[in-house]
Amino acid sequence: MNLNSVAAILIAISGHTLAGDVVTYQANNQDYQGYWSKVSDDAPLVLLVHDWDGLTEYEEQRAEMLNKMGYNVFAVDLFGKGVRPTKLEDKRQHTGELYKNRDKLRTLMEAGVQQAQTLGGNTENMVVMGYCFGGAATLESARAGMPAKGFVTFHGGLKTPEGQSYANTKAPILVLHGTADKAIPMSQFAQLAVELEANQVRHEMVTYSGAPHAFTVFGSKNYRQDADEKSWQAFDEFLNNHTQ
């Protein structure tokens, strides 16, 4: 797809009810609530992972944008049904619990893949992507050896936990990052490049000048339209190159 601008797609999807469905599923004997947005039976699948706000309208809008580009989307839920934190301390609590329990994080990501497959998503033709915390979860799945066509992180956590590596990563990685990100410093960006190269993982890593953390979040003080549109175009190209 020749993408003119993120704004153009947002205008195209504004003013109508989003086409996806809220889906309740189970993992670890707990209810989770994802978002399934389908365009066709044979479309490639994007597994979308939310930021530390939980799965909100933002991810649903991004899913709709991907639908317009020809992709089925399942937005996973990593916090639990009804858990959509708004206070800073609550966001830190929910993400912190999963950062400390990487086995649970991997289990929840796998549960999202299984649910997408149950709904008809083609998990053999799938790219995993995430924002902020979701980017860290995406890289966790890459290190776990999840069988995907690729992994993409937008302003996500980049640090590799102690004892982990990219030795089992089976697909290319695209990292989209702002050089003005104070939450995820460029030292982590550089270290990740070293690790990916050492493990012979195909990768592209792009930085955007002046872009702070969460530069893709519409309407926020950190939103940077230029970086958002350029990173989305890079993502579009990555999807075209790595899905069928």
Give the domain ranges of the chain: 15-242
pLDDT per residue as tens digits for the range 43-96: 999 999 999 999 999 999 999 999 999 999 999 999 999 999 999 999 999 999
Query: Would you state the pLDDT for residue 15?
Result: 53
Give the up-direction half-sphere exposure of residue 125: CA atoms within 13 A in the CB hemisphere. 15
Query: Would you state the pLDDT for residue 2?
Result: 44
| Amino acid symbol at 89 | E
Regions in the chain scoring below 70 on pLDDT: 1-18
Query: Would you state the pLDDT for residue 19?
Result: 74
pTM: 0.93
Q: How would you class 162 by CB atoms within 10 Å of its CB: exposed for 0-12, middle for 13-18, buried for 19 or more?
A: exposed
Query: Would you state the pLDDT for residue 1?
Result: 43
Q: Which fold has domain 15-242?
A: Rossmann fold (3.40.50)
Burial readout 44-54 (b: 16 or more C-beta within 10 A, e: otherwise): bbbbbbbbbbb
Query: Would you state the pLDDT for residue 8?
Result: 55
As a whole number, the mean pLDDT across the chain is: 94
